[in-house]
């Protein structure tokens, strides 16, 4: 099989923790060809989608994780799988990338399905399951957010298109309103405001799912003196056992994930509340594989085979 990975630049990949590198390594281990492309290289010529690609050898070397074998322009329809693994934000360029990928024939599988990535905003998708989520409003109005804080107390506020913990702040009545003005870009940008969950101090669970089935979970725990558990914000990954309520949430998500073509997903749970559904480039696969001594990256590629 031939796999094309649309992802962030190769030179920025940290192979010791990067899930995309791990998936590419799994492809290569199983005898498949792997290439890299940047979404800016996509070219739609009438009804055929082309791109420059770099065919690579995936190396177990943290200093040199890739060896570029050759460069060429190909019709992406000649590949078997296109992985859409560019990190958020899901901006206008990302949106148009998904529209271009819609032009590929059914013989080339796009993961995750572009339509599903468009439909399931990573922050808003959880609200498809309101019984499992914290009390939430989505607004660009500072006054509405303050009104919500009067009802709920301390809030977690995050940009609607944020990722990796960037832009998250905590707001309580009496705090400087300038925090909210900055978060909403002076009232021009929607944010997610949710009731603050004290259980966040105990970490949050990242649960990885494949074709609607649970692979397992990791516990992300904040660094000393920090409040955010995201790995990109200094948090660490730890083993965790999933409880019955976690599995109930996963079971509730399964039909929607399958319907939307979300092949590989990471969901975030704090306490007993569903926080996010990560459909663009979910992470944590290397850590999960280490904790369970299981080659989950091979399991994912085997499912495609």
Average pLDDT over residues 266-287: 96
Report the range of poorest mean pLDDT among 40-54, 58-72, 194-208, 217-231.
217-231
Query: Rounded CA gap, 195 and 305, in Å?
Result: 43
pLDDT above 80 for 228 = no
Nearest CA to 56 among 33, 82, 84, 38?
A: 33
At 50, phi and psi to the nearest 5? -115, 165
Residue 223 banded pLDDT, cuts 50, 70, 90? confident
Residue 3 and residue 80 in contact, taking contact as beta carbons nearer than 8 Å: yes
Tell how far CA 13 is from the center of its chain: 16
Q: Does residue 222 surpass a pLDDT of 90?
A: no
- What is the model's pTM? 0.94
The pLDDT assigned to 224 comes to 77
Cis peptide bond prior to 87, omega within 30° of 0 = no
pLDDT score, position 225: 67
pLDDT band at 231 (very low <50, low <70, confident <90, very high): confident
Position 114 pLDDT exceeds 70: yes
Binned at pLDDT 50, 70 and 90, residue 229 comes out as low
Mean pLDDT confidence for 37-59: 98
- Quote the tokens at residue 49: 């989608």
Domains and CATH numbers, the chain: 2-111 (3.40.50.20), 135-196 (3.30.1490.20), 199-304 (3.30.470.20)
């Amino acid at each position: 099989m031939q796999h094309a990975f649309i992802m962030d630049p190769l030179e920025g990949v940290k192979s010791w923790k990067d899930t995309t590198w791990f998936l590419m390594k799994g492809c290569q281990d199983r005898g498949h060809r792997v290439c890299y492309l940047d979404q800016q290289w996509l070219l739609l010529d009438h009804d055929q989608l082309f791109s420059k690609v770099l065919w690579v050898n995936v190396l177990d070397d943290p200093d040199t994780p890739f060896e570029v074998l050759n460069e060429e322009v190909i019709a992406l329809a000649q590949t078997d799988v296109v992985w859409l693994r560019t990190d958020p934000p899901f901006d206008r360029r990302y949106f148009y990338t998904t529209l271009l990928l819609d032009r590929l024939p059914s013989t080339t599988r796009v993961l995750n399905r572009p339509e599903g990535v468009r439909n399931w905003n990573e922050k808003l998708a959880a609200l498809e399951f309101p019984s499992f989520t914290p009390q939430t409003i989505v607004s660009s109005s500072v006054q509405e957010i303050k009104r919500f804080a009067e009802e709920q107390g301390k809030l977690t506020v995050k940009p609607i298109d944020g990722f990796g913990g960037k832009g998250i702040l905590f707001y309580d009545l009496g705090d400087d309103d300038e925090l909210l003005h900055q978060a909403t870009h002076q009232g021009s940008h929607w944010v997610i405001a949710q009731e603050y969950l004290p259980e966040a101090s105990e970490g949050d669970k990242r649960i990885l799912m494949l074709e609607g089935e649970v692979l397992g979970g990791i516990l992300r725990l904040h660094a000393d003196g920090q409040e955010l558990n995201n790995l990109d914000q200094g948090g660490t990954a730890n083993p965790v056992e999933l409880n019955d309520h976690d599995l109930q949430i996963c079971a509730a998500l399964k039909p929607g994930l399958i319907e939307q073509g979300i092949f590989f997903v990471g969901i975030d749970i704090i306490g007993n509340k569903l926080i996010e559904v990560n459909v663009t480039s979910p992470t944590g696969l290397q850590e999960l594989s280490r904790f369970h001594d299981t080659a989950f990256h091979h399991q994912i590629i085997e499912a495609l085979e």
